[in-house]
Amino acid sequence: MTQLKPLLLAAATGLALPGLATAQTVLQINSSLPEGSFAHVFLQEYETRLEAATDGGVDVQIFMSNTLGSEEDVLQGLALGTHHASLSASAIAQINPRTAIFDLPYLFEDRAAVQTFAASPAGEMMAAGFEGTGMVLAAMWDNGFRQITNSVRPIVVPADLEGLKIRTPTSRQRVEMFNTLGANATPLSFGEVYSALDQGVIDGQENPAQIVESARLYEVQEYMSLSNHVYLPTFLVFGEPYLAGVDPALAEAMVTVAAETAAWTFEWGDTTDAEVVASLADRIAINEIDFAAFQAAAAPLYDSPTFVDVIGADMIAATREALGLQ
């Protein structure tokens, strides 16, 4: 796509794009997360910006909780032309393995590092991984850092994880990460986590602070350690058949406004994280970790076939260079 700068200026200044409102185009976006989630907030902001930038030329329709079908079916539908767009997270790695770079632990210390990556050659390499998939990456938005909670002790250094049963998703990478750091990784569906913590079947779990609050995990956990061990973004992807079938100027606006919205999502994430942690302070003991110690302990994973065979050694090397970790 070309001529993105004029469109970006129009989106940023709130100016309407002339000639785009003659016939309204429907844009349906699917998300697996529920109404009221951060993803819903982001999509509503995008809807407001895009409809303003196109002078109402695009009718954005948001479908939460996989209303349009399972996340995997929707992603397949993008390439087939049966669906328009999706805001997805982990499932994207099935389409573009380079996005699994975010499974590497202690790679991104903060959101500034994530944005540095996105604007680097490594970010371009990741985006190029969508070529040939039938979909286009419009933007990478926020999601959040994962934190560790447990009922045994505060986690400050890797040795504090020794022997703890920590629930993880059913992800080979996450399991290997926690086992390498000394914990006993215990894959479990999220729906079982609260009761397993309550009954002492597991000692702890790892999720963003927002999940600790919304799922009321503080009721069955004593400590939350701000580990920031994994950052996972959300990816707004469009189907190539859909974009090819709409007015070219509208297609450019859809992609450009999505990219312009990215910075806002990261700012929102930073602010909201701080608010959530503050709100949890009187319900669970919160502590910082020794990030450098964990980063050093996790170093062997950067050469592990479990990660390298999926992500690609070139992708890992480019990311480390972009972040100054060589």
Reading the chain (326 residues) residue by residue, the pLDDT tens digits are: 333 333 333 333 344 444 444 569 999 999 988 888 899 999 999 999 999 999 999 999 999 989 999 999 999 999 999 999 999 988 899 899 999 999 999 999 899 999 999 999 999 999 999 999 999 999 999 999 999 999 999 999 999 999 999 999 888 999 999 999 999 999 998 889 999 999 999 999 999 998 899 889 999 999 999 999 999 999 999 999 999 999 999 999 999 999 999 999 999 999 999 999 999 999 999 999 999 999 999 999 999 999 999 999 999 999 999 999 87
DSSP class of residue 234 equals E
Q: How far apart are CA 75 and CA 30, in angstroms?
A: 9
Q: How far apart are CA 281 and CA 267, in angstroms?
A: 22
Instruction: List C-alpha distances in Å: 129 to 94, 117, 125, 301.
Output: 11, 15, 7, 22
Q: Is 160 strand, coil or helix?
A: helix
Task: Give the global pTM.
Answer: 0.84
Instruction: List C-alpha distances in Å: 173 to 54, 69, 92, 179, 306.
Output: 42, 27, 15, 10, 6
